[in-house]
Amino acid sequence: MNSIVTLTLNPTVDKSTTADQIVPDQKLRCAPPKFEPGGGGINVSRALRRLGSDSLAVFPVGGATGARLQELLTQEQIRQEAVPVSAHTRENFIVVDSTTRQQYRFGMPGYPLEADGQQQVLEALQGIPANPEFLVISGSLPPGVEPEFLIQVVRAAKARGIKVVADTSGPALLRILEEGIFLVKPNAGELSRMAGVEELDNEAVGSAAQALVRDGKCEIVVVSLGPQGACIVTRDLTDHVPAPAVKKRSTVGAGDSMVAGLVHGLATGLSLRETVRLGVACGTAATMNPGTELFRKEDVDKLYRWLLQSMPAAAA
């Protein structure tokens, strides 16, 4: 049964390497490259796999990079519904300066996904035989895809009783929220823009998230606060969870890891307070690894136990 489906409209292969002393106008000697599957929903599926939850990753695919993406996902035993399209799959490039540990991330926009490709993706989602419990829409939109396409996706999912989880940004996020979804995971900057203010403090974050719930735009808001943790808000709950202090090596994949923790917690019956702590544990654990690596399960388990132990007794 496909209890969790992820949708990635702008998938990628992440190519990463290291080099000594990155300076302009010189040939830089790099370490052998590492290739990993990427894109919001795909990373969520990968992280779910590490947590022990099965998912089906749906994404458009094209060209030689697309073929490599499928191979990489097969190696990680990720179930996939790859939709062949004429647009080529993009490739991102990440390089770490080994002398300073500074990371340089080059994100490519992707090739246009034309109307026929969009229709094929929609048909692939509609063709999933068993109604999943969750549909996770995560990542950026490729050129040629307007936010209105996501409205079709959300409406089709809601018509089948599927809970929509969204982790995107900009106009796409605003349009999705107009339809009313189950869970949204903005960061503080995205939430402030939705609230029409320049910046939000911790108290204002809760109020802005409560407004989204009160207006029927979602049932659950989880605001990612970076090194400050996260805040979960529902009609009956507001809970701020500080992030554990760890040595951070990279923030790549932290947001996707948090989403995976949230969905895994909800799918396995954890309480909302436990679920948000698992999400924070996954996101924090992802920052402990260099480059484009996701979290290690043992790190998640350790951080999650610490967060549960530090949870106020009245809330446990």
Question: In this structure, what CATH number is given to the domain that contains residue 50?
Answer: 3.40.1190.20
In a domain, 221, yes or no: yes
**Does the residue 99 lie in any domain?**
yes
Domain assignment present for residue 184? The answer is: yes
Task: Report in angstroms the alpha-carbon separations of 156 from 50, 159, 164, 181.
Answer: 29, 5, 10, 12
Alpha carbon distance 198, 189 (integer Å): 8
Instruction: Return the pLDDT at 4.
Output: 97
- pLDDT attached to residue 315: 60
If you search the block for the tokens 């929903």, which residue do you land on?
41
At 316, the pLDDT band (50, 70, 90 cuts) reads low
* pLDDT for res 291: 67
**Predicted pLDDT at 136:** 98
Give the residue numbers annotated as catalytic, written as ranges. 256
Task: Give residue-wise pLDDT tens across range 41-57.
Answer: 999 999 999 999 999 99
- Give a yes or no: residue 247 inside a domain: yes
Question: What is the pLDDT, as a whole number, of residue 49?
Answer: 97
Looking at residue 200, its pLDDT comes to: 77
pTM of the model: 0.94
Distance CA 156, CA 190 (A): 26
C-alpha atoms less than 13 angstroms from C-alpha of 127 in its C-beta half-sphere: 10
Q: Indicate whether 153 belongs to any domain.
A: yes
272 part of a folded domain: yes
pLDDT at 289 exceeding the cut of 70: yes
| 189 — pLDDT class (breaks 50, 70, 90) | confident
Buried/exposed code over 292-306 (b: 16+ C-beta within 10 A; e: otherwise): bbbbeeebbeebbee
Indicate if the alpha-carbon torsion angle 160, 162, 167, 173 is positive or negative.
Answer: positive
Reply yes or no on whether the pLDDT at 2 is more than 90: no
Mean pLDDT of 121-144: 94
Residue 220: closest CA among 151, 134, 149: 134
Give the count of domains, the chain. Answer: 1
> Is the pLDDT at 218 greater than 90, yes or no?
yes
Q: How much is the pLDDT for 228?
A: 87
Name the average pLDDT for the chain. Answer: 92
- Given this model, what pLDDT does residue 89 score? 96
pLDDT (tens digit per residue) in 103-114: 898 989 889 999
Determine the pLDDT at residue 129. 84
Is residue 1 pLDDT above 60, yes or no? Answer: no
Over residues 293-315, mean pLDDT: 87
Does 211 fall in a domain?
yes
Domain range enclosing 206: 4-20+32-309
Question: CA 92 → CA 15, 17, 65, 190, distances in Å?
Answer: 6, 12, 11, 23
Per-residue pLDDT, averaged over 143-151, amounts to 94
Instruction: Specify if 27 maps to a domain.
Output: no
- Give the model's pLDDT for residue 138: 96
Predicted local distance difference test score (pLDDT) of residue 193: 84
Is 314 a residue whose pLDDT tops 60? no
